[in-house]
Chain A
Amino acid sequence: MSDWFEAELRSEAGNFSLDISLSLNKEIGVLFGPSGSGKSLTLRCLAGLKTVRSGRILLEDRVLLDTRKSISVPPHKRKMGLLFQHLALFPHLTALENVRFGVNGGRREEIAREWLARVRLESHGNHYPFQLSGGQQQRVALARALAAEPRLLLLDEPFSALDGPLRRNLRRELRLLQSETGIPILYVTHQIEDLCALGDRVFFIEKGRITGSALVKDLLNGQKRFHFWNLMGWGNVFEGEVSYGEEGYPIFSWDSGRLLLKETEHTGPATAFIRPDRIRFLDPRYPVDSEIAPNKFSGTVEEIQMEGGIIRMQIMTPVGLWQVEQGGATTPARIPDIEEAVCFAVPPVAIELIFIKR
């Protein structure tokens, strides 16, 4: 089966090197990896906004890039839409004018109106971006990107600034639009929820390399799911069960431990995913925030890696081995030693749950 889209890229930015190869059918692909793994750079290279050292991009039956044959189609002729993290709406144009900007043909006004209606903003056509809410801006940006009829849509964590319910709605809308238009999507995220809710296929990316790919349905339900979680090599994953504890609070429990959750919609068997960078490293001398106190763990440091400003630690606790990352504002005053006893806590909001369908 020949793929709709194939890309091989090698590029450098400073001392970061990117070496990516991926292929996609007419589906939603998710590029999943930690911050700084080269996800956004990959999208910029694909869209032609960043020149690559070598590589080849095929989309549909067109060659967009082939460095060996010195072919490089400029960004405006690639027919590849890119939805930026910060949306990049045109601030001096109304919502309708924003959408109309990329529309071709004679019925531009009409087509732009149709797209606004599809994202349920037909009554906001005359509003400027600053007059729209965050979610509305997202929908305008999405309509604008799709109205230009791209052959592939690249999304760079466009929902990352939004909160839970709004994200869920937008994800649902994006899925719906994708199935209506059939435009394949490559979606970049470091959030497991996005991956599970949106993707057909996932590519794991780390330090500028693709470390593996899988079908999302295998990742969630398949026999081999542990293999994939390990492939990801990043994050704390526990298989367990969500239930209401004796005190009436929702908890996630697995063979050796339990975590207090924020409110939850479901109960039952689930996989909990906790990003290492959202774990709070604690100073034993200070009292713990009451909200996170129930999710406090103690253990010993097994391994420490320093990378840029980020400290990556493997901490062995009675409830298993944890990956904890600290960096930026949360950098501890002192870097712990190997085998030092340390404490950390998991904020309930940092626990992402994936409910397993049986």
Chain B
Amino acid sequence: MGRALLISLKVLAINIPLLLFLGGGIGWVLAKKNFPGRDLLHLILQLPIILPPSVLGLYLLVGLGGSELLREAGFLFAFPAAVLAALVSSLPIMIQSTRAAFAGVNRETEEAALTLGRGPVTVFLKITLPLARRGLLVGLALSCARALGDFGVTLMIAGNIPGRTQTLPLFIYSQVESINFARAHTASLLLIAVGVGSLYLVRKLEDGAHERLV
């Protein structure tokens, strides 16, 4: 179980910065920029939430398998594919949360900061980001829990290779298959603890959000 836990943590560690920058960036663009096709893009980016993981995995497999380069590099059924699988299933959650968080920052507040002579970058760092912070952290907590728990997409594109792509959820599956319930329970409890922990964090953050913003 130690190896599966380690792989899960490694997948998560790589995913956190990706979620922050990619999810945060896309969320910001969707919230603050007006361009043709924005709503369509938003819809497409939300698709992974409602599609069955196996469907998502299948098309990722077909898409990635079609690329000579990725096949040669041994991307599929290896650790990078496990990272991608976790990202694909958790990114929409992060995008959704950050979009809401950035949209919740009053435009006039940002405009006031501009008219005080501060450039767009300073305004983003000093005003927009701190005001959206709680929403971003909520998104991060929820999407990390989702990334950690991914099963279907990982199985489809990374496989279930112990020591290489077997994350905790896949480990549980394998233990149940070999009727080793005790170890399955231990791993499950660990994941439950992470889930409950992140929900608790989200709750705390959302309570705190009402404090200052009257």
Q: Is B120 an interface residue (CB 8 A)?
A: yes
Distance between Cα atoms of A148 and B122 in the complex (Å): 15
Chain B residue at minimal CB-CB distance from A99 = B116
Task: Report the interface size for chain A: residues with CB under 8 A from the other chain.
Answer: 28
B80-128 residues at the A interface, CB under 8 angstroms? 106, 108-109, 111-120, 123, 126-127
- Set of chain B residues within 8 Å of A76, measured between Cβ atoms: 114-120, 123
- Set of chain B residues within 8 Å of A79, measured between Cβ atoms: 117
A88 engages B116 (CB within 8 Å): no
Q: Is A86 an interface residue (CB 8 A)?
A: yes
- Set of chain A residues within 8 Å of B191, measured between Cβ atoms: none
Interface majority SS (helix, strand, loop, mixed), chain A = loop
- Set of chain B residues within 8 Å of A80, measured between Cβ atoms: 115
Q: Is B43 an interface residue (CB 8 A)?
A: no
A49's contact among B111, B116, B117, B212, by CB below 8 Å, is which? B111
- Set of chain A residues within 8 Å of B64, measured between Cβ atoms: none
> What distance in Å separates the Cβ of A355 from its nearest Cβ neighbour in chain B?
36
- Set of chain B residues within 8 Å of A49, measured between Cβ atoms: 111, 114-115
- Given A91-B214, A130-B214, verify A145-B116 contact (CB < 8 Å): yes
Q: Is B162 an interface residue (CB 8 A)?
A: no
> What distance in Å separates the Cβ of B211 from its nearest Cβ neighbour in chain A?
9
- Set of chain A residues within 8 Å of B123, measured between Cβ atoms: 76
Q: Is B213 an interface residue (CB 8 A)?
A: yes
Chain A residue at minimal CB-CB distance from B106 = A88
A214-231 residues at the B interface, CB under 8 angstroms? none
B111 engages A88 (CB within 8 Å): yes
- Set of chain A residues within 8 Å of B117, measured between Cβ atoms: 76-77, 79, 102, 104, 148
A61-116 residues at the B interface, CB under 8 angstroms? 74-82, 84, 86, 88-92, 101-102, 104
Most chain A CB within a 10 A radius of its CB, from B106, B109, B117, B213 = B117
Distance between Cα atoms of A148 and B130 in the complex (Å): 21
Chain B residue at minimal CB-CB distance from A148 = B116
Distance between Cα atoms of A75 and B114 in the complex (Å): 6
A91's contact among B111, B113, B126, B213, by CB below 8 Å, is which? B213
Distance between Cα atoms of A81 and B127 in the complex (Å): 17
Q: Is B131 an interface residue (CB 8 A)?
A: yes
B113 engages A101 (CB within 8 Å): yes
B130 engages A75 (CB within 8 Å): no
Distance between Cα atoms of A144 and B112 in the complex (Å): 10
> What distance in Å separates the Cβ of A172 from its nearest Cβ neighbour in chain B?
24
Q: Is A121 an interface residue (CB 8 A)?
A: no
- Set of chain B residues within 8 Å of A148, measured between Cβ atoms: 115-117
Distance between Cα atoms of A351 and B148 in the complex (Å): 66
B127 engages A130 (CB within 8 Å): no
A90 engages B214 (CB within 8 Å): no
Distance between Cα atoms of A92 and B127 in the complex (Å): 8
A84 engages B212 (CB within 8 Å): no
A84 engages B112 (CB within 8 Å): yes
Chain A residue at minimal CB-CB distance from B126 = A101
A88 engages B109 (CB within 8 Å): yes
Distance between Cα atoms of A188 and B166 in the complex (Å): 65
B212 engages A47 (CB within 8 Å): no
Distance between Cα atoms of A332 and B157 in the complex (Å): 66
Distance between Cα atoms of A130 and B120 in the complex (Å): 25
> What distance in Å separates the Cβ of A214 from its nearest Cβ neighbour in chain B?
28
Chain A residue at minimal CB-CB distance from B119 = A76
Chain B residue at minimal CB-CB distance from A87 = B112
Distance between Cα atoms of A89 and B214 in the complex (Å): 11
- Set of chain A residues within 8 Å of B116, measured between Cβ atoms: 76, 81, 101-102, 144-145, 148
- Set of chain A residues within 8 Å of B127, measured between Cβ atoms: 90
Chain B residue at minimal CB-CB distance from A83 = B112
> What distance in Å separates the Cβ of A292 from its nearest Cβ neighbour in chain B?
35
- Set of chain B residues within 8 Å of A74, measured between Cβ atoms: 114
Q: Is A254 an interface residue (CB 8 A)?
A: no
- Set of chain B residues within 8 Å of A78, measured between Cβ atoms: 115
Distance between Cα atoms of A90 and B129 in the complex (Å): 12
Chain A residue at minimal CB-CB distance from B110 = A88
B131 engages A75 (CB within 8 Å): no
Q: Is A234 an interface residue (CB 8 A)?
A: no
A91 engages B115 (CB within 8 Å): no
Distance between Cα atoms of A81 and B113 in the complex (Å): 10
Q: Could you list 25 examples of A-B contacts with CB < 8 Å?
A: A49-B114, A75-B111, A75-B114, A76-B120, A77-B117, A82-B115, A84-B108, A88-B111, A90-B127, A91-B109, A91-B131, A91-B212, A91-B214, A101-B126, A102-B116, A102-B117, A129-B214, A130-B212, A130-B213, A130-B214, A144-B116, A145-B115, A145-B116, A148-B116, A150-B115
Given A49-B111, A88-B106, A148-B115, 12 more A-B residue pairs with CB atoms under 8 Å apart are A76-B114, A76-B117, A76-B120, A80-B115, A89-B109, A90-B127, A92-B131, A92-B212, A101-B118, A102-B116, A102-B118, A148-B116
> What are the nearest 9 A-B pairs in CB distance?
A102-B116, A130-B214, A88-B112, A88-B108, A82-B115, A75-B114, A148-B116, A76-B114, A88-B109
